[in-house]
Structure 1
Amino acid sequence: MKALFIPGNSPATIYTHTALATAVRNAGHSVFMAGIQWLLPDIAGVGLSPVQISPLSEKDVIAFMAGMPQDPEGAARAAGRVYAEIAVESRRPLLEMAAHWRPDVVVGGPMFYGAALLAHHLSIPSALLEWDRGDASIYEPGAMEVLRPVLDDLGLDRLPEPDLRIDICPPSLRPAGAPEAAPMRFVPTNPQRPLEPWMYARGERPRVCITGGSRVFSGEALHRLAKGVAGLGVEVVIAAPEAVAAELRAALPEVRAGWIPLDVLAPTCDVIVHHGGGATDMTALACGVPQLIAIQDVSVVEMRRLAEAGAAILLGPGEQESEHLVAACGELLGEPRYRERARELAREIAALPPPAEVVGLLTNLATG
């Protein structure tokens, strides 16, 4: 079987599809993973074969992110348009690839509309693998503004439905009315680096990890947050690009900062502070770590559901200052109920079928 994975347009989508793609390859099948130019090193870095479908670079993505509307609805519409534009742009390179390496099945991410279009053109089955707990339907209004002419040309009134849906959400967090899907255990995956013992060993103090990069925490704000959290008597670890991390280490020698594989670090943490990113959220869930979510963006519905389930605190738009973050962090550390609920959700995830057991569903699709 030849399986083509087209996860999406950010590194997080690559990492969350890696476990299944690797399981398919380890079962003896041929696997390619397609992505925009920015993602090719990430695909190669997790040991898969990268195929470029668009020349979009990291610089292009940063420019788009900087110009996104601030309101969740406007941001979702803008993102949907861009995802659809990439899907349309990628049709030609995908078909050129298929002329030489024709896949038997296509596995796409929920916002990568090119997977459904390619499967329709080649008359092959497709699967949709969720990469987080998000509801991708929020992107459809913007996407359809771009996709409508393409669908009309194909004689379609809507995007073709996948032949199989695969979901990684803990069952108790799945919303009512969610589409029927085969469950799969989420397995955290990140680019790696030579490990130091402190990265995988718990110290004497509780550990708080702050991540999210420039989307939330930057410059003086990050400095104040790190200093405030350290004042709680905890060890602070900041997962950040080296340019940011070097300044933090110089200003706050007691804080550990740098590129740290979150799948290694998360099991040693007592709280993870982040921006609502799907991959960070799923990694924290799988490792049973309470979360402090410090921004409301397109993921706000899913993050609120987690907070209502008792495994996180979600701060609203007027609660983004460091004093609010530090106070919420203190509550998560001081109230055992958050840790207990997070561990219950981790047990739900651990009870789901591992990726190796899902490979058979894809082979069944491919062989018809």
Structure 2
Amino acid sequence: MKILFASAPGYGLTLPLIPVVWAARAAGHDVLLATTAEIAEVSARAGLPVVDVFPGRDVWTDLLATIKDGAAPDPDEPEEYRIARQHQGPFGLFTAAMTEGTIEAGRAFGADLVVYPSDHGTGALAAAALGVPALEVGNRISWSARDLSWRTEHADFLDSDLVTLMREKLGIGDAPVNVIARIDPRAPSMGGLRADEEPADERDGAPWWPMQFVPYNGGSVLPEWALRKLQRPRVAVTLGTVVPAMSGISSLKVVLDALGGMDVEVILAAGAADVSELGELPENVRSVGYLPLSAFLPECSAIVHHGGSGTTAAPLFYGVPQLVLPSFADNPMSAERVVERGVGLSHDPSAVDVETLRKLVRRLFEEDSFAVAAAEVRAEIAGQPSPSDVIARAVAALG
């Protein structure tokens, strides 16, 4: 079977899908990932065949510029791109830019099935245009398309002028999206499904299937220290990839000042951000740039982060308590899930000071309930059907 995977060009939107692509390839299926911008190269480095469906322009850079500076009019832009920039937010922009190229790639590839994240409208439109079944995969720890909050947030887009325009422009018309199933990768106690629970989606009757979340955040040659026996507790600190690009890393100053006064080893994963603005780092802080969380997170006693969906989900997989300082987008909802389940704590980053942050981290170390809850969620995740199980089931459903 030939399976087209379609995903938006963001780390947090694509990386959770990569283990599902691997599962399909390992099962002997031909796979192709349709994305664009920096994520095309990132996905290729994961060992996947990738097609850049919007090579003439960096839509991710366009998105950041739109959010930072507003939607500046451009008379040379196609209508759908202009509408998306002004009214439809990031996912509308991806739909406007990537749908035509994704359909062309799927047609040339001869796709029998399209797999896409719930947020990526391009995948659904491509499946409709190609006349093939679709498998929709949730990729957020804080909410999913089963939740009222998600439906409220996305209702206008799913039935928007932009989608109508794209259907008309690309000749899709009223062709339906034949969704064979929707996947919820959250642990049951974090809002997900039990292994024996598979409700029908009220929109179209498609079943919901549970799936084990498997973190992927890149590969690397491990540094020597990553395998060394720990002499003191290790704490991970990261703001992901979007927050540094949007807001900088100045918010890390108070975090590092707080952890610098504690008897811990701190791993600062700030990606490509220039950490020199933070001044001289404390002696116990190791700045590693972009190093996959999986290289050091399993040995951590805690992680301090911004609340990105993938960054929140990874410590759940490894059973690591977390402190969330939520930024924007779905970050506050991720923080709420963490606190409600008891796997960590949260605080407003604009109001946190050094002493408060130290107290919060000490609580994660000293109060057993956080480690116990994190271990419980880890066990839940391990008991869910694997991506391989889900791919096999999807193929069986197609006969």
TM-score calculated relative to the size of structure 2: 0.81
Tell me which residue corresponds to 2:296.
Answer: 265
> Which residue of 299, 302, 305 corresponds with 2:337?
305
Tell me which residue corresponds to 1:291.
Answer: 322
| Aligned 8 A contact 2:133 2:178 in 1 | no
* Distance in 2 between residues matched to 1:45 and 1:79, nearest whole Å: 34
CA gap 1:58/1:90 in 2 versus in 1, 3 angstroms = closer
1:188 and 2:250 matched: no
* Distance in 2 between residues matched to 1:223 and 1:306, nearest whole Å: 23
CA gap 1:68/1:128 in 2 versus in 1, 3 angstroms = farther
* Distance in 1 between residues matched to 2:190 and 2:86, nearest whole Å: 27
Tell me which residue corresponds to 2:53.
Answer: 53
Deviates more, 1:16-25 or 1:350-359: 350-359
Shift of 1:363: 1.5
Deviates more, 1:24-33 or 1:252-261: 252-261
1:90 and 2:98 matched: yes
Shift of 1:188: 1.3
Tell me which residue corresponds to 1:72.
Answer: none
* Distance in 2 between residues matched to 1:95 and 1:220, nearest whole Å: 41
- Which residue type is aligned with residue 382 of structure 2? A
CA gap 1:103/1:170 in 2 versus in 1, 3 angstroms = same
Shift of 1:318: 5.2
* Distance in 1 between residues matched to 2:20 and 2:306, nearest whole Å: 26
Tell me which residue corresponds to 1:358.
Answer: 390
- Which residue type is aligned with residue 3 of structure 1? I
CA gap 1:26/1:102 in 2 versus in 1, 3 angstroms = same
| Aligned 8 A contact 1:37 1:57 in 2 | yes
Deviates more, 1:7-16 or 1:159-168: 159-168
Tell me which residue corresponds to 2:285.
Answer: 255
> Which residue of 97, 105, 122 corresponds with 1:114?
122
Tell me which residue corresponds to 1:40.
Answer: 40
Identity level (%): 26
| Aligned 8 A contact 2:134 2:177 in 1 | no
| Aligned 8 A contact 1:81 1:146 in 2 | no
* Distance in 1 between residues matched to 2:338 and 2:322, nearest whole Å: 9
- Deviation string, structure 1 residues 27-71 (Cα, Å, up to 9, x no partner): 1111111112221111101111111122325533432443489xx
* Distance in 1 between residues matched to 2:379 and 2:268, nearest whole Å: 27
CA gap 1:340/1:78 in 2 versus in 1, 3 angstroms = farther
| Aligned 8 A contact 1:7 1:14 in 2 | yes
Matches within 5 A, 1:210-359: 210-213=237-240, 215=243, 218-245=248-275, 250-258=280-288, 259-299=290-330, 300-316=332-348, 319-359=351-391
| Aligned 8 A contact 1:211 1:273 in 2 | yes
Shift of 1:86: 2.1
SS in 2 for 1:282: helix
Q: Which runs of 5+ in 2 are unaligned?
A: 72-84, 145-149, 194-198, 202-206
Which structure has the higher relative contact order (CA within 8 Å, separation 6+)?
1
Tell me which residue corresponds to 1:206.
Answer: 233
Shift of 1:92: 2.1
> Which residue of 120, 129, 132 corresponds with 1:124?
132
Shift of 1:90: 2.2
CA gap 1:145/1:342 in 2 versus in 1, 3 angstroms = farther
Tell me which residue corresponds to 1:26.
Answer: 26
Q: Which runs of 5+ in 1 are unaligned?
A: 70-76
Tell me which residue corresponds to 1:99.
Answer: 107
Shift of 1:207: 1.1
Deviates more, 1:192-201 or 1:27-36: 192-201
Shift of 1:150: 3.7
| Aligned 8 A contact 1:79 1:142 in 2 | no
| Aligned 8 A contact 1:164 1:182 in 2 | yes
- Which residue type is aligned with residue 215 of structure 1? V
Deviates more, 1:318-327 or 1:27-36: 318-327
Deviates more, 1:90-99 or 1:31-40: 90-99
* Distance in 1 between residues matched to 2:111 and 2:252, nearest whole Å: 45
* Distance in 1 between residues matched to 2:349 and 2:117, nearest whole Å: 29
SS in 2 for 1:48: coil
* Distance in 1 between residues matched to 2:281 and 2:334, nearest whole Å: 35
Tell me which residue corresponds to 1:165.
Answer: 182
- Deviation string, structure 1 residues 76-114 (Cα, Å, up to 9, x no partner): x98953312321332321232233211100001111101
Deviates more, 1:140-149 or 1:111-120: 140-149
Shift of 1:276: 0.9
* Distance in 2 between residues matched to 1:13 and 1:33, nearest whole Å: 13
- Which residue type is aligned with residue 122 of structure 2? G
* Distance in 2 between residues matched to 1:140 and 1:200, nearest whole Å: 47
- Which residue type is aligned with residue 100 of structure 1? A
Deviates more, 1:21-30 or 1:194-203: 194-203
Shift of 1:292: 0.8
